[in-house]
Structure 1
Amino acid sequence: MMTDDGPDPFTNMFEAPAKLARALFAPMAEATAGTPVSAEDMRHWADVGMKLQSMWLEYQTEQLADPQALAPFFDPARWMELAQDWYRQMPLADPAQQQALMQEGIALWQQVLGQYGLGPDTAAQASPEPELPRSDRRFADPRWRAHPAYALIHQTYLFLAERVAAMVESAEGLSDERREQLRFTTRTLTDAASPANYPLLNPVVMERTLETRGENLIKGMEHLLADLRRGQLSHTDPSAFTLGENIATTPGKVVHETPLYQLIQYTPTTETVLATPLVIFPPWINRFYILDLNAKKSFVRWAVEQGVTVFMVSWKSADADMKDVVWDDYVRAQIDAIDHIRARLKVPQVHAIGYCVAGTTLAATLAVLHRRGEQDKVKSATFFTAQVDFEKAGELLNFVDDQQLTAIKALSPDGYLDGRYMAATFNMLRGTDLIWNYVVNNYLLGEDYPAFDLLHWNGDVTNLPAKWHEQYLRDLYRDNRLVEADALQVDDTPVDLGLVETPCYIQAGKEDHIAPAESAWRITEQFSGPVKFVLAGSGHIAGVVNPPGSGKYQYWTNDGEPRSLAEFREGAEEHPGSWWPDWIEWLRGQAPETIAAKGKRAPGGRGDSVIEDAPGRYVATR
């Protein structure tokens, strides 16, 4: 059909797929001509199909016997609700947008097919190395470009994902908060819709299936069903690590215990140590041993080797007995740990580190101590990727509206939130890397799980007290009350961060998506005492766990008086490698006095009553 302006684009739209279909099936027909499928092959593929069906039916039978076994966050209805809410917000019904989208799509098809000599220009020659308009690391394998069908599939997907994301930006009448939620939902849904996640659309999976004669699908089904049974996506081989043997191995003793935490003291390796000990408060959202993964990565071991007496808090994973635990209890626990160390070693002060949520809590603890006139108990405070002002808290803000808080409360009938929900939430923040990458590798390609300590820790979830969790999300993330002087009370004490004069070292991660650098910077605007801010390369974990021996990343310092993160960056000096040596130099400057590493500085010695060896029982509770 012709128009006044030339060929009808709609005719081209249908001619192109017809040419593509001929290109697809002609080589297949030619390759298989005279080569009939053997009866043995037919039986084999039938056996594979029956095996997969049998495995799935067995799993379904288990679910009928125990309907609660399937974790609710695998419920497809939850995804449908998410998709419907998203669809209602999108301007997809606008005819002009539809027309523009169709025209752009036709142009894309013609452009892609033209690279393979299949476009409307019949005289065009196929390019030996097709240059496609869009790239994405999910489709980096050459097989996505080797055949026009797969090139067209993934290019169309990238085009549509790009346009849908643009619609979010152009949607009218949305608040900033709602638009950000829509951005997150759009990315979540488009990540899930990637053709890489579906075996028939993924050339790498199709080739692996033919090579292994379907064994990859059987192995992948085993992985999928194992994850469904445990209610959690696996990232690593769960049997590869054992606490105290090849992970969390720094020698030490549990020297104090409460129903909420154990206190570990690590064995010194130097003849003298700093007189002022260090206590580390890790986040109770995860296990403490992120700071003690192995001998090479362990911040704990490294700090001990620098002559620091190190204590570590190991929080108990919540159960029904902790249904009444609130934020005040964690502040009281931090003060209790500080007081116990002071009494045990007969010292007036400690250094303290707070990581993530425990850093937020440490800020409140310091404010409480200052209000009570007990601020001298803490000589210095270090904050690892922590926040106190949650206005710029990143994508986790998408989970704190009233509807989300109600849903979270419904998931905690026994007074605690199953840690698998938090794991799923954090995985969603990096869906391509932490969800769909493993769906493809482990479920579709049937690959073995790696033995990776960091991924093992990431999957070693902890349960959270429901009251604390709701309180934290409501008062801090949603209402941002911690930065309002005396807006919150903790342990019957009004909290004013402006009272805090303790010297502080604040570390933020340049690429942190959980506690964004802009949000971590704002701690500097709250305290009244001397503050040193350091911006580390990488993110929430690798930015912290970056030992000097690794030679990775970099960090930035600024000795001026920047008033914003932007000003800090403009005048910052970049340093290669780990920021740990900078921190230990700062720590020594706060209290340089040293003493002999004897007596109770070496836990478990003569006359020293201890509870058990590190890493203790609490870190192993599920």
Structure 2
Amino acid sequence: MAQPATDPNAQQEKKPAKDDAAGRPAEAPEEAAEAVMGLDMVLVDAARGPLRRLVPPAGTAFRFVSALARQPGTVAGRTGELARELARIAAGNSELAPGKKDKRFADPAWSGNPFLRRAMQTHLATARTTWELIEDADLDWQDDERIRFTATNLVDALAPSNIPVVNPLSLKAAIDTGGKSALKGLGRFVRDLSNPPRVPTMVDPDAFTVGEDLASTPGAVVFRTPVFELIRYTPTTETVREVPLIMVPPTINKFYVTDLAPGRSMVEHYVASGQQVFMMSWRNPDERHAEWGLDTYGQAILDAMDAVERATGSSKVAFQALCSGGIITAMLLAHLAAIGQQDRVTAASYAVTVLDWSRAGTVTALMDEESVNAATEKSRKKGYLDGAQLAEVFAWLRPNDLVWNYWVNNYLQGKPPPNFDILFWNADTTRMTAGLHRDFIEVALGNQLTEPGKATMLGSPVDLSKVTVDSYITAGIADHLCPWQACYRSTQLLGGDHRFILSTSGHIASLVNPPGNPKSTFQVAGDTPSDPDAWLKQAETVQGSWWPDFTAWLGERSGDQVPPPNVAGELDQPVDAPGTYVFDK
């Protein structure tokens, strides 16, 4: 696996690997992680609308056409090969077949029915020629990435598997139900199109109940500010670790990704291991909170630290922070280091968190000053970035998995989507304040956390090398939002000792990885060299979940075993977990 390029000139030589049959980019997780959008790109597109990316900039399109116009022989050759392949398809002699992992054409009818086989092979042949022509154009890396991004989305959208009268699953459902599936599918389509995020519903809104099926670990709210509620989970062991753990969830979604269904809850597992666990549950902001920025959320974490100290008597805490919550936590630790209070923290875990954005590729290629200015201005006028817009962008990051898969299931077959706790959480969106939206984009685009003093937190210059707290860093090998190599580079920014864990699956599934799954593995190595490739070569694969590994690591840094403290809380009226902020819409 190649580390994402940091030198734009080096990117010119990098081309995605291709599937032998269809000519589309290879779908191996380690390759997919190299050509994804980061948090910065998501926040810009969420404000402007992701479908803008389906049309390349006029200059890019012109240079692509011009490059091919200068190679008439090459274009003629590609066109001729496509014509010959189409002739073989028409005659029934083509051997084109989809990749083994391409679920779109898994139904036997695609290979057994002559008409469907020809439709599928025509799509595969056209897609292959498209990728070949992009290769032939030999554009500079930015234009290359822009064209590939547009082509990928358009090619996927035009697959015959998305057409109702062609997809055999759609036809079978219509026959089996006497046409009722088509009516149900049309109804689902109209409902989805009329309400943001205007993508196929991935889980029914009444599939789960927060506080019952999800976020059900027993506890109580012990502290509340206008920004967050602090939940303390009820200990289930006779003794607990002396140093409490504060969990800092993402600011983009609600906290209960860490407390999903029983048996799949990180919180439940940590409590059962004897850890004192406190959770920050962010408020779902609106236009009244437009000015809340990084300093607001950094101060909130400080407030949580103070509240935990008052509740437990412990002058020290440990952190586990996720994604955007990890960015804020790292910046706050730099502030504590600057003011001489870093000794209040014994350990910090950063899960799927990127602190170093120094990578070329789709993010840098598609970003421009006009896009950034338009995005921040739009959220400024509204006061916030709508969660539904974020959900739409997340879906279009992986259209085959998160759009067209549900298009076929929900609309073409008229079936309800399967109930899955992660997708229910993902659909339970939150807003992001205009101030935080602006600050995140500035930090990411300027890659400010890699240069000491370029960013500030609560008036202190941020120098991550001064953060000497031991860190436990996790990433997912197939993460489409925070590539594992980018997460790994945090080991080179932060001081202290590091333990880097590479989990299976993608952004969220790499976190929700409970013990007991026989397919679960993670990779770990004894040290963290500068090159992620070097780390990977020496890493060993461990069977099972990384959760027990983390609790063991954390336990070594969480003091002695003590009786659970009696925590009364600071609210006038007691409120059980999961609190009230989690229900804000």
TM over 0.5: yes
The secondary structure found in structure 2 opposite 1:451 is coil
Map of 2:435 onto structure 1:
467
Query: Deviation of residue 162 (structure 1)?
Result: 2.5
Q: How does 1:103-142 map to 2 (within 5 A)?
A: 103-115=80-92, 131-135=95-99, 136-142=102-108
Answer yes or no: is 1:620 the counterpart of 2:583. Answer: yes
Match of 1:204 among 159, 169, 186: 169
Against the structure 1 CA distance between its residues 194 and 72, is the aligned structure 2 distance closer, same or farther, given a 3 Å change threshold?
A: farther
1:556–1:459 CA distance, 2 compared to 1 (3 A) = same
SS at match of 1:505: strand
**Structure 2 letter corresponding to 1:487:** K
Structure 2 Cα separation of the partners of residues 498 and 80 of structure 1 = 40
Unaligned runs of 5+ in 2: 1-45
> How far apart, CA to CA, are the structure 2 residues paired with 1:337 and 1:201?
56
CA displacement, residues 193-231 of structure 1 (integer Å, 9 cap, x when unaligned): 212112133233233334433222210111111112221
Give the corresponding residue for 1:441: 409
CA distance in 1, matches of 2:89, 2:292: 59
Deviation at 1:410, TM superposition (A): 5.0
Q: How far, CA to CA, are the matches of 1:79 and 1:363 in structure 2?
A: 32
Whichever residue aligns with residue 397 of structure 2, its letter is L
Summarize deviations over 1:469-491 as a string: whole Å, max 9, x none: 12212321x22111101011222
Judge conservation of contact 1:395–1:429 (CA < 8 Å) in 2: no
Partner-residue secondary structure (3-state), 1:313: strand
Farther-moved stretch of structure 1 (450-459 vs 265-274): 450-459
The separation in 2 between residues aligned to 1:458 and 1:281, in whole angstroms, is 17
Residue number among 162, 172, 180 corresponding to 2:128 in the alignment = 162
Equivalent residue of 2:449, what SS? Answer: coil
Higher relative contact order (CA 8 A, sep 6+): 2
Aligned mates of 2:233, 2:556 — CA distance in 1: 22
Q: Using the alignment, how far apart are the partners of 2:369 and 2:124 within structure 1?
A: 33
For residues 95 and 153 of structure 1, the distance between their equivalents in structure 2, rounded to whole angstroms, comes to 28
Show structure 1 runs of 5+ residues with no match: 1-70, 120-129
Distance 1:414 1:545 in 2: 34
- Report the alpha carbon displacement of residue 461 of structure 1 after superposing the two structures with TM: 0.9
Following TM superposition, by how much is the alpha carbon of 1:85 offset from its aligned partner in structure 2, in angstroms? 7.2
Residue 560 of structure 1 deviates from its aligned partner by: 4.0
Matched, 1:101 2:65: no
Counterpart residue type for residue 245 of structure 1: E
Cα deviation for residue 74 of structure 1 reads 8.5
The two structures have a TM-score, normalised by structure 1, of 0.81
The reply to whether residue 481 of structure 1 matches residue 448 of structure 2 is yes
The two structures have a TM-score, normalised by structure 2, of: 0.86
Match of 2:26 in 1: none
Give the count of matched residue pairs: 532
Distance 1:75 1:373, change over 3 A: closer
Identity of aligned residues (%): 35
The CA deviation at 1:173 is 4.6
Please state how far the C-alpha of 1:156 moved relative to its aligned partner: 1.7
For 1:421, the equivalent position in structure 2 comes to 389
Q: Secondary structure at the residue paired with 2:319?
A: strand
2: distance between equivalents of 1:436 and 1:83?
Answer: 25
Counterpart-to-counterpart distance in 1, 2:54 and 2:342: 52
Q: Distance in 2 between matches of 1:472 and 1:408?
A: 12
Report the AA paired with residue 415 of structure 1. G
Change (3 A) 1:565 1:95: same
Distance 1:372 1:223, change over 3 A: same
Match of 2:266 among 270, 283, 299: 299
Pairing of 1:278-289 with structure 2 (within 5 A): 278-289=245-256
TM-superposition CA deviations, 1:386-432 (whole Å, max 9, x none)? 11101138755566432332342354332101111111111111110
Alignment of 1:101-500 (within 5 A): 101-115=78-92, 131-135=95-99, 136-174=102-140, 176-232=141-197, 233=199, 234-392=201-359, 395-397=362-364, 400-409=367-376, 411-412=378-379, 413-476=381-444, 478-500=445-467
1-side partners of 2:459 and 2:142: how far apart?
A: 33
Whether the aligned pair in 1 keeps the contact of 2:60 and 2:146 (CA below 8 Å) is: no
- Please tell me the root mean square deviation across aligned C-alpha atoms, in Å: 2.4
Secondary structure, counterpart of 2:153 in structure 1: helix
Q: 1:85–1:242: structure 2 CA closer, same or farther, 3 Å change rule?
A: farther
Displacement, 1:368? 0.6
8 A contact 2:55–2:150 mirrored in 1:
no
CA contact (8 A) 1:538 1:553 kept: no
Deviations 1:569-595 (A, max 9, x none): 111111101011111111111134011
Give 1:439 deviation, angstroms: 0.9
Alignment partner, residue 536 of structure 2: 569
Instruction: Read off the aligned partner of 2:156 and give its amino acid letter.
Output: D
